[in-house]
Structures are given as C-alpha cells and as structure tokens.
Structure 1
C-alpha cells in the first residue's frame, strides 16, 4: 500500500524567533525530487533510509546538519523514508551549536562529527523514539535548554543586529552591503564578518539567495506568459537577463521552464505552519 505523509509543526512561542518550523516526511515510495537553496540552515534526523545527493556523491548521515547552500540538487531514496527536520531562522543556528555557521557553507555535515555531546544525546533520543509528536517535544525541550545559555551571551545581541539587516534584505533584496551594515549599526567589514559567522554566507551571496527565493514566491502565482522583466524588477535584479542567469544557476532551469517541471514554491517567503 502506498503511504506518504508530509506534516508541518509550528514551534512554541519562545522558539519562534529562532526556529521557523519543523517538518516530518514519511514515505514507502522511491523518492526523486529537485531541491533549491532555501536560505535557512537545517538539522535533519533520518529514522530510516537517509537521502542520497548525486551532485555531492554522498548520502546524508542519519543525523545531518545542513548549512547554507548556493546550488540546486536532487534528493534520492529507494523508499522507507522517515525524516524529521528542524528549519532554523537564517541567522540563529549558531546560538544552538556554538560554532561559526560559515564552517557549514555548502556542507552536509554529520552531527556526530561536531563534537557536541549534548547534540549527540538529542540525536540518540530522537532516533530511538517511535512517536513523532514526542520527537518534536524532545527537540523543543532541547532547543529551549540551549537557548537559555545563548541568551546570556553576546550572541543574542549579535543576532538582533543581523535580524535587522535580514529584514531589510527581505524587503529590498538589492540593498547595498554598506546600507545593511548601517542598519546593523556596524562597520562594513565587521558586519560582513558577523553576518558570515551567523548566517553561513557572505551578505552578497545571501542576497542572491533571497532574490531567488523571492522570485519563486512570485512565480507561485504566475502563468507561462508572465512578464519576466517585471519579475526581475520586483525581486531586485539588475535586468531580465540577470534574473534568468541567476535563476538558472540556483534551480537548473529558466524561470518559465521551471513552470513545466514543478510548481514553484518559496521556502523562505512562505510559512507552511
């Protein structure tokens, strides 16, 4: 019998500034799906078959930490998939891992390699727990216990600075780095260093991901005869050719050809919960 479930969970109120949502996927069918840069780091628990990523030539660990990526990829599995994923705000994973997120850039890292005993204990609990709702509760309890320490450190203050810059970037993806630094009340070099440490990509690269995700959001409601020049302008691209070139780099398709392959969806500009 074919079984496939996709469920989203909303984080508790205390964690909403740090965690966007959790999602759970279960399937007994072969999986072959295209994925794009979403602009948010993730922690992934595979309770059955981990996913294979041919572009990297690797399978994810049963316990994976995924940093910011700037490429599209395929995800494969032969069946028997059961995964629980924590999707963080773009700038908050450092508060829980206590390491520069720039180290995870374009990486699918095994959580067992991070030398974080508390994180490994969490993985052991989740991978041995058969109740999905209880798994989410365990994850939330762990996150709350970790954030208590982070809130007393300078990390919390730095997060506030970068949060302000990210909000500006979401509103106007073409905002210059010097202006973003001013919003964060930092010098340009200091801002770039802090941004990279918290977000896991430099400001210019992350702005490209934001523009791409914003274009996906607009394409969700467009037809094949959409005005690409207008889409380019709305998303902060210099011109239509710039839009098409960068879109193809991140997705493997031109904006309109993607409409024939799948239904565009923006992970960054939608809240599935």
Structure 2
C-alpha cells in the first residue's frame, strides 16, 4: 500500500502586537504538522522558548548528555546550549514564543541561568496562572482560531511580566557583539566591564556564560550559511568565513554542540535548520 499522505502543515508566525513585549519577544506562532519520523534532534540556539502543546498535555526533552525531562503541556525551555532529542508528535499542534536575548528575564522570579537547558513547567514557574494557561489557549483557539490563541497568550505574558520590560542596554549590546563573533575579552573591554562581571551578567540575564553563548551563536551563523546555499557545503571555506580556526575545528565544534558530524546534518527543511530527523 502507498504511504498515507501527511496533511499539509499550518504555520502562523507573528511579531507581538503589544509594544511592551517587542523588546522581549522576537516572534511567536502557532504550528500544526504531522511528521513521518519518530524522533528528531533539536540543535542549540542559546535562546529560550515558551511552548504549549495543544494536542496533548505533555512535553519532553532528552539531552544527548543527561537525564530526560518531562512536564505538562505548557513549559519554558531555557536557553539551549546543547542538542536534545524531542518527539515531533508533540509539535502536531503547538503555540510557541521565541524570546530575544535576555527577553525571558522579566517572566521569571529567578535568574535565567537557573533554567538553562531545562524544560520547566509553567505551573512550577508561574503557579496557578501557568497551570491554567494551556486551558485558556485551548478555549481561545477553539472559539477564534490560532490568532485568537496568540492574542490570549500575549495577554497572559503581559500579566506575568515584571519591570523592567526591556533587557539592559549593556547586556543587549553584549549579546549582539557575541553573536557577531567578537571575542569575549573584547566584549568586556567595550562595555567597560571585567571579564568576571561579563560572565555573571550573561549567566544571569542571557542565561548562558559568554564563551558558551559565543560558541553556540557561531554554530548558528554556520547553519544559516549552510541552509542558504544551493550546492553542497564547502566546509573549509565556511570554517574560515564563520570564525573557526580551520575545518578540523569546525568539525570538532559541530560534534560538541550538535551531537552529529557536519556530513550527517540533514534538517527537516532549510527554514527549520535546528530540527534534524533521526533515523528510526
């Protein structure tokens, strides 16, 4: 028998409409999709997400090195610095928020570093408000569709946010410089900070120490280049262009941060470069 055709995915991505959320949230959206593969690798970005599984009241994430984590269907995934195995079935109907660097901080009562690489249930983080958010979104989507669900999520985020509602300018600049490949010592010099102060502020507000953040963001620069290309990657040229010492350094860093070799990298699509289906 021929394989059962998969339904066409539905994907809606928007910027937050509330001006107060714009400095904190890069994008938010609603996705419906079905996948043939049973597991996939989620690659690190250094950023944090809020996830709400509307299909089932469960979310899981299993780092390649470490114990798996399970929560109810609404959770925050802290800034990611390593690869994790996730279940694509949990993405069949999901509402998500991608936070800007340091943008998660106003929504937590603890430093962002305490949820680094963690899947933390919203009930643990927000109490009763987090525990009922999934039900609020289910009702909103059932009554008014995905856009109504996203409006409800914006309202919930505004209810939870604590002042100040924008990352400190210095930490935003640090994140930008690190993202561009500026050496950590030079970032500290430009800000007029000691290396220790930079490390502390990045760990508390970005959620990731600066050297680790710089390594992960360099990997992301590399993945963007790979997925924008129309021909097989020239890894030696990419190593030089993306800030690696040489091709051997690129391969070592790719394995360390993505859990696979560059040659094994085959994402779901060029637009979904951080999702790599795993063989059955």
Q: 2:23 is matched with which residue?
A: 17
Counterpart of 1:151 in structure 2 is 164
Contact 2:111 2:207 in 1 (8 A): yes
**Distance change in 2, residues 1:85/1:238 (3 Å):** same
Structure 1 gap segments, 5+ residues each: 269-273
The count of aligned residue pairs is 260
Indicate the SS of the match to 1:87. Answer: strand
2:253 counterpart residue number: 246
Correspondence list, 1:27-176, <5 A? 27=33, 31-49=38-56, 50-55=58-63, 56-77=67-88, 81-129=92-140, 130=142, 131-147=145-161, 149-151=162-164, 156=166, 159-171=168-180, 173=181, 175-176=182-183
Give the CA deviation at 1:60.
Answer: 4.1
Q: Distance in 1 between matches of 2:189 and 2:262?
A: 33
The runs of 5 or more residues in structure 2 that have no matched partner are 275-280
Of the candidates 202, 206, 210, which is equivalent to residue 199 of structure 1?
A: 206
- 1:218 and 2:225 equivalent? yes
Q: Is 2:32 the counterpart of 1:26?
A: yes
1:188 aligns with 2:195: yes
TM-score by length of 2: 0.81
Deviation at 1:164, TM superposition (A): 0.6
Q: Distance in 1 between matches of 2:84 and 2:168?
A: 29
CA RMSD of aligned residues (A): 2.8
User: Could you tell me how far 1:123 is from its partner in structure 2?
Assistant: 4.2
TM-score for the superposition, normalised by structure 1: 0.82
CA drift at 1:47: 1.4
Output the CA distance in 2 between the equivalents of 1:44 and 1:80: 9
Q: Distance in 2 between matches of 1:22 and 1:10?
A: 6
1:86: Cα distance to partner? 0.8
State how far apart, in whole Å, the 2-side matches of 1:79 and 1:34 are.
Answer: 13
